[in-house]
């Protein structure tokens, strides 16, 4: 009897340069090496039954990635976790292993910490506030159906702004569902262009995945 196992994992350090497709291949190889009783689809071209949720942009770190496996037989969550962690490459850490509580379609938002290196964080903070005070922030976003105009102001929740030594840190909540998905890099790039400001290479870290009701996704 098939068992569904969901794992939450972190992707940090050099692992942030592993693309979404290569990450899927990495997990497939590690599952084979771990000898987990993974289930396969039926048909002429059987494939592993696993889902890697909410693709993360190349160069982003995360402490909230999700992968879901279908196993042909039940194993303890601790055994699944230990088998996988023993084989996964540096920078990928299994944080927890559990039975799914939410359907994948219930995912609606993600929280990110964005670090903007700068010479004057107080001045950059003031420019950020001016940027977000606009009634609308209209941009064209590429979608599967072509270019679409969206209002970034309506889609952005800025939960916290922290002035640091040589950097401004933003805590953002953005849509991450099937209907609407906003990448924080689009918001940051638009900020730089509209306000005419310059800052160092931004660092992005995904902190949480949330449901449509904004509770933590499990």
pTM of this structure? 0.94
Give me the pLDDT at residue 37, please. 97
Domain boundaries, the chain: 3-100, 105-211
Q: Which candidate, 39, 60, 152, 35, places its Cα nearest to that of 113?
A: 60
Give me the pLDDT at residue 129, please. 97
Residue 91 has pLDDT above 80, yes or no: yes
Q: Which candidate, 35, 27, 19, 80, places its Cα nearest to that of 51?
A: 27
In the chain, % helix, strand, coil (3-state, to 5) comes to: 30, 40, 35
Residue 59 CA from chain centroid, whole number: 11
Buried b or exposed e, range 122-151, using 16+ CB within 10 angstroms: eebbebbeebeeeeebebeeeeeeeeeebe
**What digits encode the pLDDT tens for the residues 176-186?**
998 889 999 99
Read off the tokens for 83.
């088998």
Of 175 and 198, the one with more pLDDT: 175
Give me the pLDDT at residue 134, please. 96
Of the options 3.30.530.20, 3.40.630.10, 3.30.70.580, 3.30.70.1450, the CATH number for the domain spanning 3-100: 3.30.70.580
Give me the pLDDT at residue 141, please. 85
Do residues 91 and 23 make contact, with C-beta atoms less than 8 angstroms apart? no
Give me the pLDDT at residue 156, please. 97
Residue 1 has pLDDT above 80, yes or no: no
Q: What is the third-level CATH fold of 105-211? A: Pseudouridine synthase (3.30.2350)
């Amino acid at each position: 009897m098939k068992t569904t196992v969901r794992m939450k994992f972190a992707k940090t350090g050099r692992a942030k340069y592993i693309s979404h497709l290569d990450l899927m291949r990495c997990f497939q190889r590690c599952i084979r090496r771990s000898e987990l009783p993974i289930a396969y689809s039926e048909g002429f071209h059987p494939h592993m039954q696993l889902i890697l949720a909410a693709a993360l942009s190349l160069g982003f770190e995360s402490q909230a990635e999700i992968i879901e496996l279908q196993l042909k037989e039940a194993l303890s969550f601790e055994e699944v976790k230990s088998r996988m962690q023993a084989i996964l490459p540096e920078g990928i850490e299994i944080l927890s292993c559990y039975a799914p509580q939410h359907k994948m379609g219930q995912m609606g938002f993600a929280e990110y910490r964005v670090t903007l290196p700068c010479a004057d964080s107080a001045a950059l903070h003031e420019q950020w506030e001016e940027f977000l005070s606009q009634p609308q922030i209209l941009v064209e976003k590429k979608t599967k159906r072509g270019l679409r105009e969206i209002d970034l102001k309506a889609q952005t929740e800025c939960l916290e702004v922290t002035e640091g030594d040589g950097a401004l840190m933003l805590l953002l909540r953005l849509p991450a569902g099937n209907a609407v998905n906003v990448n924080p890099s689009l918001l940051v790039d638009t900020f730089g262009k509209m306000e005419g400001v310059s800052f160092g290479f931004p660092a992005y870290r995904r902190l949480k995945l949330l449901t449509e009701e904004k509770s933590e996704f499990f």
